[in-house]
Chains A and B, each alone.
Chain A
Amino acid sequence: MASYPEHLQYSREHEWVDASSPAVVGITLHAAEALGDVVYVELPEVGAEVVAGEVVGEIESTKSVSELYSPVTGTVVEVNQAAVDDPAVVNADP
């Protein structure tokens, strides 16, 4: 099914990471649907050192708040400002 592409790896916290370098991280369609309308996204700062399994941000919907975890260890080089500016993109295109 196109919703869960096989070239991505998935974490227990419903996140995906791809194989590119630098790696791209996101949340799955399942997570986006479970959250409902996303209204606020808090991402780590560029330059932050993150450790796999640690909380690095927050994703908030109309009815709930969930923590964002880093599925991998490394340094954040870029964040998706589009998701911060318009959280609805997370629902439209997780």
Chain B
Amino acid sequence: MTPRSTPLEAEHRALGATLTAFGGWLMPLRYTSDLAEHRAVRVAAGMFDLSHMGEIHLEGPGAAAALDHALVGSASAITPGRARYSMFCAEDGSVLDDLIVYRLAEQHFLVVANAGNAGLVARELAARAEGFDVAVDDRSLATALVAVQGPRAEEIVADLVAPADADAVRALPYYAAIPVTLQVGEGIDTLVARTGYTGEDGFELFGDVADAVPLWRGLLAAGGPRGLVPAGLAARDSLRLEAGMPLYGHELDTTTTPYEAGLGRVVRLDKVDADGSPVPFVGRAALAARKTSPPSRVLVGLRGESRRSARAGYDVITPTGATVGTVTSAAPSPTLGHPIAMAYVTPEVSGEGTRLAVDVRGRAEPFVVVPLPFYRRPAV
């Protein structure tokens, strides 16, 4: 199937981007250099076209209850104006997608799913919402999403809104979202969320596809003088890896539950409905059983002690050559200057400081278990 185009494809081509197919979409892999784009996000700002992601709206008196049933987390517990990271699991507890749920109003939620899973999530959400008083509307193809991430992101976005809104943007808490009209052209209505996938401060701006190009250009104009550069998927991947964030298809897939990935906190076995009864959400029984049983594998961070990077899929071995796991993601860390990797390993070798190795194309390269994340942005 030919990949879809985002509304910004012509912009990426004009900027000289190398495009690649990802999740069914033609996306910018890089514009200039992966390393330069990665560094820009850490020191100034980078801008990402995320219009490939899925946006599913749930509206109605039963919206919260429907999501409490469909997801492993508690949607009812989200205050309007806030968001939560959650997961969409199957009956056996395996992860179908990881996503962010934004509560836009008491009875209005926005679920943002990974591009490659958007169709599945939209269909399954609609199926799971049957019987609840809620309308499920997949607006993915009508929604453009642009992220601005980096220490300069706040001043860039604040610069594009009316002075009255600038304070609200600056004060927006992490994992909160507000509707704001950008002062671009006749005005561009957006939902501005303080969420991101880089480990830096930043915003994700949701708008109508018809406004995608002026939104992109408006941000570039405001941000360029502040060091903002367009950044592609290559930089996005190395940034989230440094920040210890999972990528569906690597750390999370249908063979994992949230627990193995160290994300058991998203599972709310204790959530109750309006009557105070435990919510029989999809996957509850399997996850309750998994929570109390010993894990067969654990997700760990690995720091490379030599200069060669591991790659996803490579075997993790002990110094004596026994295979104890598999690398899920790996790259040289531009910020830290050494290779980093995430891997699933058996519990006995998951302790911090454990010396392991990765079979890198026939050679055992030394890696040591370290805590995640690898990188935390400096406290301001």
Contact of B234 with A40 in the complex, beta carbons under 8 Å? no
Q: A62-B234, A62-B238, A63-B234 are in contact. Are A40 and B34 (CB under 8 A)?
A: no
Tell me which residues from 53 to 94 in chain A have a Cβ below 8 Å from any Cβ of chain B.
58, 60-63, 65, 91
List 26 A-B residue pairs with CB atoms under 8 Å apart, sorted by A's residue number: A36-B18, A36-B30, A36-B33, A36-B34, A36-B234, A37-B33, A37-B34, A37-B35, A39-B309, A39-B332, A40-B308, A40-B309, A40-B332, A58-B361, A60-B308, A60-B309, A61-B34, A62-B35, A62-B238, A62-B331, A63-B29, A63-B34, A63-B234, A65-B311, A65-B361, A91-B33
Tell me which residues from 14 to 66 in chain A have a Cβ below 8 Å from any Cβ of chain B.
36-37, 39-40, 58, 60-63, 65
Residue numbers in A under 8 Å from B308 (CB-CB):
40, 60
Tell me which residues from 234 to 269 in chain B have a Cβ below 8 Å from any Cβ of chain A.
234, 238
Asked if B307 CB lies within 8 Å of chain A CBs, one says: yes
Give min CB distance, A40 to chain B, whole Å: 6
**Closest B residue, CB atoms, query A67:** B361
Q: Write out, one digit per residue, whether chain B residues 27-70 have a CB within 8 A of any chain A CB (1) or not (0).
A: 00110011100000000000000000000000000000000000
Residue numbers in B under 8 Å from A63 (CB-CB):
29, 34, 234
Q: Write out, one digit per residue, whether chain B residues 289-312 have a CB within 8 A of any chain A CB (1) or not (0).
A: 000000000000000000111010
Q: Write out, one digit per residue, whether chain B residues 186-216 have a CB within 8 A of any chain A CB (1) or not (0).
A: 0000000000000000000000000000000
The complex places the Cα of A6 from the Cα of B22 at a distance, in Å, of: 38
Residue numbers in B under 8 Å from A58 (CB-CB):
361
Residue numbers in A under 8 Å from B309 (CB-CB):
39-40, 60
Residue of A40, A61, A62 near B307 (CB, 8 A) is A40
B interface bracket (residues with beta carbon within 8 Å of A): 10 to 19
Q: Is the interface of A mostly helix, strand, loop or mixed?
A: strand
Contact of B361 with A62 in the complex, beta carbons under 8 Å? no
Give min CB distance, A18 to chain B, whole Å: 27
Give min CB distance, A31 to chain B, whole Å: 14
Give min CB distance, A92 to chain B, whole Å: 11
The complex places the Cα of A60 from the Cα of B311 at a distance, in Å, of: 11
Give min CB distance, A12 to chain B, whole Å: 22
20 additional A-B residue pairs with CB within 8 Å, beyond A60-B308, A63-B34? A36-B18, A36-B30, A36-B33, A36-B34, A36-B234, A37-B34, A37-B35, A39-B309, A40-B307, A40-B309, A40-B332, A58-B361, A61-B34, A62-B35, A62-B234, A62-B331, A63-B29, A63-B234, A65-B361, A91-B33
Residue numbers in A under 8 Å from B30 (CB-CB):
36
Contact of A62 with B311 in the complex, beta carbons under 8 Å? no
Give min CB distance, B25 to chain A, whole Å: 18
Residue numbers in B under 8 Å from A37 (CB-CB):
33-35
Residue numbers in B under 8 Å from A91 (CB-CB):
33
Residue numbers in B under 8 Å from A65 (CB-CB):
311, 361
The complex places the Cα of A40 from the Cα of B361 at a distance, in Å, of: 14
Give min CB distance, B94 to chain A, whole Å: 28
Residue numbers in A under 8 Å from B331 (CB-CB):
62
The complex places the Cα of A58 from the Cα of B308 at a distance, in Å, of: 11
**Closest A residue, CB atoms, query B29:** A63
**Closest B residue, CB atoms, query A88:** B35
Give min CB distance, B21 to chain A, whole Å: 14
The complex places the Cα of A91 from the Cα of B33 at a distance, in Å, of: 10
**Closest B residue, CB atoms, query A64:** B311
Residue numbers in B under 8 Å from A40 (CB-CB):
307-309, 332
Give min CB distance, B119 to chain A, whole Å: 26
Residue numbers in B under 8 Å from A60 (CB-CB):
308-309
**Closest A residue, CB atoms, query B38:** A62
**Closest A residue, CB atoms, query B233:** A63
**Closest A residue, CB atoms, query B18:** A36
**Closest B residue, CB atoms, query A61:** B34
